[in-house]
Amino acid sequence: MGLSYAGRAPRVDGMAAERVPVYHTGQNAGRSSGGTGTVSLPASVSIVEVGPRDGLQNLTQTLPTGEKIRYIRLLAASGLKSIEVTSFVSPKAVPQLADAAETVAGLRDLPITPIALVPNLKGARNAVAAGVPTLNFVFSVSASHNRSNVNRTREESLADLAGIVALAGEVPGVRVRASLATAFGCPFEGQPPIAEVLRWVGAAARLGIAEVTLADTVGFANPESVRRILAACRERFPDLTYGVHFHDTRGMGIANALTAMQCGVTVLDAAAGGLGGCPFAPGASGNIATEDLVFLCGEMGVKTGVDLARLFEASRFLQGALPGVCLPSRVLQAGLPKARGPIVG
């Protein structure tokens, strides 16, 4: 592991190109994490950057559209390829993302896969009309949270998902992934039985969903619960691709992410700076920070394709644009490990 400097290359954000440090991963990609019976880590993972949506939706401040687009461009410049850029929801419910269509329009030239969260069929239609190729439909394991979050029963949400899958089938290039909120715990109902998680994962799978993200919406999860739920899901529905979405409410987010990777998960949501939270879930706080996840992966030999120095630029830009907002990422605050030199004497 170490720092070197990348060659000059075009900048996605339009700024002058500079020679910037590239954080090299270790030499243990794909190897066992050590000890008898341990599980090997994947050689590489795909990080889904959710900061522009999940990170901004819970703030009291609203980032202007132009600065939002600049922020996403900086994230793309770091090497992030899958970015959840906005949410097509009621502007009354989430005014911070009322500019969803305008945001998407300002990103058409970027070499990324833009993703938009959609809570219902109306939102999906608006996202498709705006040119979004990947729709992330969210509904909850918990009946109470689903009512609080999208004002629907779970059955009504499932009917919406069926309509969204049909809509995507009519538009070439559009795909749908499903995020299952409160899969590890709910602020209203507590921890759901694994059978209930399996029930709704199966319901999504029967509609033709191939990728399901299990979300720890309010930070209830721990490594053992992550292991149990992922094992049950993969045993019952082995053909699905699983992603994970962890909040760091109780400091367990990175430990949970490592456990998920040990269980074979290669799609992980994270938010630059560690922002995030659900305005309709009491107690929800920030997502795991993208910087922290990239650093973890680099230290353990798992490739992400993300340049940490460029990622720092994006988070520092956001900090400058929203000076009253704290970015809790540990790696952003501390920087990369650096030897100061031996003490002689």
Active site members: 278
CA 49/CA 293 separation, integer angstroms:
11
Give whole-number Cα distances, 198 to 142, 167, 231, 232, 291, in Å: 12, 25, 11, 8, 31
- Residue 97, phi then psi, degrees to nearest 5: -115, 25
Give whole-number Cα distances, 9 to 83, 193, 271, 330, in Å: 21, 50, 25, 29
124 contacts: CB under 8 Å, gap ≥ 6: 88, 118, 135, 137, 160, 163, 164, 167, 168
Cβ burial 288-327 (10 Å sphere, 16+ → b, else e): bbbbbbbbbbbebbbebebbbbbbbbbbebbeeebeebeb
The letter for the amino acid at 335 is G
Cβ burial 74-94 (10 Å sphere, 16+ → b, else e): bbbbbbbebbbbbbbbeeebb
Helix (H) or strand (E) holding 84: strand 82-87
CA 328/CA 289 separation, integer angstroms:
8
Return the half-sphere exposure (C-beta side, CA atoms, 13 A cut-off) of residue 32: 6
The letter for the amino acid at 37 is G
Residue 140: which of 281, 240, 25 has the closest Cα?
Answer: 281
Angle of the 223-236 helix axis to the 194-206 helix axis, nearest 10? 40
Strand 21-23 and strand 3-5: pairing? antiparallel
